[in-house]
Chains A and B, each alone.
Chain A
Amino acid sequence: MSPLLAQVEIREREDTCVSDNGFCPDWIADNFDRYVDPFLQHVLLTVVAVAIGFAIAFTLALVAYRHRWLINPVTQVTGVLYTIPSIAAFFLLLPITGRGFVTATIALVAYVLLIIFRNVLTGLDNVPDETKDAGRGMGLTDRQLLWRVEVPLAMPEIMAGLRIAVTTTVGLATLAFFAGAGGLGEQIFADINFKSNVVVAGGLAVALAALLDAAILITQRAITPWTRAAAAR
């Protein structure tokens, strides 16, 4: 017996709207609590995967920024990881890492590496040479120049990459239940013919993507005040 099928819940079908697989606000109000745990699993999957992916890709980008020959090999390897569909990646990992959160996280991390790596590098490359020269003229060491001038000025691109990574990961995490990691996708899959269920679970996933996207945008505005000053001029 497939563990997936075993998880399919048999819902109460007394209400005619529910038994017709309709859209029933009453049912949603009564059953909303069953979506809370999957939602939190979804948030955890997304945040953990993007955080690990960011740590790896950001480090790779900083190294590749100084050692340019690394750019092509890193882009190609992360490009293949980006290309492999997550749903396939989950099953390819199952024999190695087993079912669960770890497998899902590995597949999601693999997917976001290219997005973040590329954006961090583009951001660093876009820092004007004059600005770097000015920094050096002020006596900054390479390390100081990187952290006080180049990384801050690359922030718009870095944050743009993070936004793409987060919204994409929320979407892919809806498939994480195939790897046994739960999430909102499990609810969608459990009763894909029931309108109320699809609307609530699907709607929550879209809302989560929009929410995290907005959170990063607000953070970006807060830490790069000079971009607004430039726009206002």
Chain B
Amino acid sequence: MNDFFDAIEFIFNEHESPAGGASVGGLSNMWELMWPHLQLSGASMGIACAIAIPLGLWLGHIGKGGFLAINASNVGRAVPTLALIAFFVVFIGVGFWNLTLALVLLAIPPILTNSYTGVRQVDRDTVDSARGMGMTGAQIVRRVELPLALPLIFGGIRISAVNVIATATIAPLAGVTTLGDPIINVNTYGDEGRLAAALVVALLAVVTELALGAVQRAVTPKGLKLEGGAGWRRRAMALPNNRREATT
């Protein structure tokens, strides 16, 4: 347990680096590492959402491209994050925006799959009655399909966000200093620094998951909440599509 006390102490107090020279540890140093971590994750998630949500809504609305939307997740999972980052390092280059692009590719599949599935699982009768009320296609997407798909869309965002935060930990391999720096460059930070970084990354992921879970509940239309009831099912929906149609 002493290792954990040392690690927590590292988070709050500055230390001399085991490699000599600059001091490491302490809250300001942790923040210096966490800020680029958040910037990187935020930029990637923003871009991924801007691409995947409209695309998923559109494919779901016209009812085409289901094969692409559903299999995007399956293919995405099969590429290890370390391999993805390594491919980017050797073929595209290092640096903040190159890495952002890699993380965008990582973040898109779950959001795309869930946006598509979210629209497709909207009751067709509901869509028909909206059309019967004289709504245009764009109105149906915005006022009927999007609200009803929001819980699933946010489920996708949750998976991607946690995955991106986890993967941003190996960003130092691509030349971006994040919370992963103490993990990769253990000589500079020491063992307690590495454990401290692992603790902070784990905490960051759990806090993000809980916060987005709260947002997900907040954006769930009242009607769906009344109908749903079973909390674990909502939770289950937050994960990659596991319906029978996705198994073949």
A residues neighboring B (CB under 8 Å): 1-2, 4-5, 21, 71-72, 75, 79-80, 83-92, 94-95, 114-115, 118-119, 121-122, 156-157, 159-161, 163-164, 167-168, 170-175, 178, 184-185, 188-189, 192-195, 198-199, 201-202, 205-206, 209-210, 213, 217, 220
Docked pose: A90 CA to B186 CA in angstroms:
14
Is B183 an interface residue when CB atoms closer than 8 A count as contact?
yes
Q: A72-B231, A91-B195, A198-B87 are in contact. Are A118 and B80 (CB under 8 A)?
A: no
Given A92-B198, A167-B74, A188-B86: A159 touches B166 (CB 8 Å cut-off): no
- CB of A160 within 8 A of CB of B242, answer yes
B214 in the interface (beta carbon within 8 A) = no
Interface status of B114 (Cβ within 8 A of chain A): no
Binary flags per residue of B182-197, CB closer than 8 Å to A gives 1, else 0: 0100110000001101
Assuming A188-B86, A220-B247, is B201 touching A118 (CB within 8 A)? no
Whether B78 pairs with A167 at a CB distance below 8 angstroms is yes
Q: How distant is B226 from chain A, measured CB to nearest CB, in Å?
A: 19
Residue contacts A-B, CB under 8 angstroms, 22 given: A2-B186, A75-B232, A83-B205, A85-B166, A85-B202, A87-B180, A88-B166, A91-B183, A91-B195, A92-B202, A95-B3, A122-B236, A122-B242, A160-B247, A170-B80, A173-B80, A175-B81, A184-B80, A198-B87, A202-B83, A202-B87, A213-B74
Q: Which residues of A contact B247 (CB under 8 A)?
A: 156-157, 159-160, 163, 217, 220
Q: List chain B residues, Cβ under 8 A from A118.
A: 236, 239, 242
Verify if B60 is at the interface (C-beta below 8 Å from A): no
C-alpha gap A156/B247 in the complex (Å): 7
Any A CB within 8 A of the CB of B240: yes
- Which residues of chain A have C-beta atoms less than 8 A from B87's C-beta? 198-199, 202
> Which residues of the partner chain B approach A72 to less than 8 Å between Cβ atoms?
231-232
- Contact residues of B: prevailing secondary structure: helix
| In the complex, chain B residues whose CB is within 8 Å of the CB of A199 | 87, 90
Residue B27 at the chain A interface, CB threshold 8 Å = no
Contacts A192-B173, A202-B87 hold; do A2 and B82 have CB atoms under 8 A apart? no
Given contacts A122-B236, A174-B80, contact A87 B90 (CB under 8 A): no
The residue from B79, B197, B244 contacting A157, defined by CB atoms under 8 A apart: B244
Sort A-B residue pairs by CB-CB distance and give the 6 closest, nearest first.
A85-B166, A202-B83, A91-B198, A95-B3, A171-B80, A209-B78
A137–B78 Cα distance when bound, in Å, is: 44
Q: A119: shortest Cβ distance to chain B, in Å? A: 5
* A168 touching B77, Cβ below 8 Å: yes
Known: A156-B244, A206-B83. A171 touches B78 (CB 8 A): yes
Q: Which of B1, B83, B246 has the most CB of A within 10 A?
A: B83
